[in-house]
């Protein structure tokens, strides 16, 4: 069975073998589609598809039913170019083709046909055949069809990982119309739906999606919080504003999660907001803030971390020392020297000595 990649390679190979006779006539194209070599058949199919002639429909439909999967691939692509609504039923059936490349070209053709294929594709989203469902999802996503959002979100509950993945891809391709329904799906009692909705929101990189994901950082649901963090990391700087709001939320779980994300994406705009958390009552928040400042780096981070060397918690002081050692700014040398000699905690003193050694290595 041909793969999608091999199918594409076949079509490209055909494209670079023009017939010696030059441009085809319609009569030659019909003849060669019926009796030529594979290369001649695929060239003829391409010619007939581009022609836009309704008379080309039946020969191309016959080619779509040929026993050779490579010719079926060419026929599916040509039918998409032809643009006839009458090709929809055959292309929908081709979503179930035993060859994966034919399925892919059929989905692509249906997406090109657009509105005439919409109702049939929406119906296929609820089919019993896995490949038909996936093909319909791919086509509707490429079309950006908003009516597909509801059925696609239902597919997020599928126990089939491939179906869920393709539903996510389609929702992301549809874009903004999918945001609000996905935000509602985040509250689903179905775990796969909730996870997939969070992943899709992260891929959308939309301001509303970012806010919805940041809201999950303070939840008691550890699974939802984890997936939201991963999604926000992927969203990157687009999520900065809602993450900054989370820093000021007063919710320790949300503050720590926001810190970790901002440190991961190394967002310099967050330095002052993160540094403000070094005065928080919760030492776990202060610890996370100090660690994040080390990840982000920057002059203001150094000043704040030096101040954190006076924190009442040994573990906060230690992570501040480690962060300063990572940044390697010579302005920290006097403070680190004092800590190495005088801090009451042995682990903090040892960390300071290591940080000083790292700084010495920069000379």
CATH (domain of 57): 1.25.10.10
- Are 126 and 21 members of one domain? yes
Q: Around 330, how many Cα atoms within 13 Å sit in the side-chain half-sphere?
A: 4
- Are 91 and 225 members of one domain? no
Within a domain: 259: no
Question: What does the pLDDT look like over 1-51, one tens digit per residue?
Answer: 233 333 333 333 333 334 434 577 889 999 999 999 999 999 999 999 999
Within a domain: 118: yes
Question: What does the pLDDT look like over 72-106, one tens digit per residue?
Answer: 999 999 999 999 999 999 999 999 999 999 999 99
Q: Is the pTM of this model over 0.85?
A: no
- Are 54 and 104 members of one domain? yes
Mean pLDDT over residues 137-150, rounded? 97
Whole-angstrom Cα distance, residue 91 to residue 170? 19
Give the pLDDT of residue 12: 35
The H-or-E segment that residue 28 falls in is: helix 26-35
Confidence label for 240 from pLDDT (cuts 50, 70 and 90)? very high
- Are 223 and 276 members of one domain? no
Mean pLDDT lowest among 16-30, 168-182, 200-214: 16-30
Within a domain: 179: yes
Within a domain: 150: no
Whole-angstrom Cα distance, residue 335 to residue 65? 78
Give the pLDDT of residue 214: 93
Give the pLDDT of residue 1: 28
Within a domain: 176: yes
- Are 12 and 104 members of one domain? yes
- Are 104 and 25 members of one domain? yes
pLDDT above 70 as % of the chain: 93
Confidence label for 362 from pLDDT (cuts 50, 70 and 90)? low
Q: Who wins on pLDDT, 23 or 268?
A: 268
C-alpha pair distances (Å), 160 with each of 129, 185, 246, 279: 12, 18, 35, 48
- Are 78 and 5 members of one domain? yes
Q: How many domains does the chain have?
A: 3
25: which DSSP letter? P
Tokens of 274: 């993160």
- Are 31 and 133 members of one domain? yes
Question: What does the pLDDT look like over 324-347, one tens digit per residue?
Answer: 988 888 999 999 999 999 999 999
The H-or-E segment that residue 308 falls in is: helix 299-308
Within a domain: 260: no
Residue 361 domain boundaries: 266-363
Within a domain: 157: no
Q: Who wins on pLDDT, 16 or 170?
A: 170
- Are 49 and 177 members of one domain? no
Radius of gyration in angstroms for the set of CA atoms belonging to the chain, rounded to a whole number? 29
Give the pLDDT of residue 143: 97
Within a domain: 247: yes
């Amino acid at each position: 069975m041909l793969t999608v990649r091999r199918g594409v390679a076949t079509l490209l190979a055909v494209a670079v073998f023009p017939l010696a006779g030059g441009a085809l006539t319609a009569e030659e194209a019909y003849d060669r589609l019926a009796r030529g070599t594979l290369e001649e058949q695929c060239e003829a199919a391409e010619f007939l598809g581009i022609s836009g002639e309704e008379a080309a429909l039946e020969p191309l439909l016959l080619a779509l039913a040929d026993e050779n999967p490579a010719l079926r691939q060419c026929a599916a692509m040509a039918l998409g170019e032809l643009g006839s609504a009458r090709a929809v039923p055959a292309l929908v059936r081709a979503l179930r083709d035993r060859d994966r490349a034919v399925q892919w070209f059929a989905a692509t053709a249906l997406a090109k046909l657009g509105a005439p294929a919409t109702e049939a594709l929406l119906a296929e989203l609820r089919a019993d055949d896995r490949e038909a469902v996936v093909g319909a999802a791919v086509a509707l996503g490429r079309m950006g069809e908003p009516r597909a959002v509801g059925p696609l979100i239902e597919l997020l509950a599928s126990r089939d990982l491939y179906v869920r993945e393709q539903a996510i891809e389609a929702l992301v391709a549809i874009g903004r119309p999918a945001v609000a329904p996905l935000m509602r799906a985040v509250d689903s009692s179905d775990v796969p739906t909730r996870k997939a909705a969070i992943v899709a929101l992260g891929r959308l990189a939309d301001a509303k999606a970012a806010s919805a994901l940041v809201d999950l950082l303070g939840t008691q649901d550890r699974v939802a919080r984890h997936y939201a963090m991963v999604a926000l990391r992927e969203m990157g700087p687009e999520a900065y504003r809602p993450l900054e709001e989370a820093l000021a939320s007063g919710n320790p779980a949300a503050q720590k999660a926001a810190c970790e994300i901002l440190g991961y994406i190394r967002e310099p705009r967050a330095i002052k907001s993160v540094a403000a958390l070094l005065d928080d009552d919760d030492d776990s928040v202060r610890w996370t803030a100090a660690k994040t400042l080390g990840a982000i780096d920057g002059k203001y981070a150094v000043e704040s971390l030096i101040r954190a060397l006076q924190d009442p918690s040994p573990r906060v002081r230690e992570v501040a020392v480690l962060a300063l050692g990572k940044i390697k700014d010579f302005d920290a040398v006097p403070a680190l020297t004092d800590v190495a000699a005088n801090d009451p905690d042995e682990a903090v003193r040892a960390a300071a000595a290591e940080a000083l050694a790292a700084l010495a290595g920069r000379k």
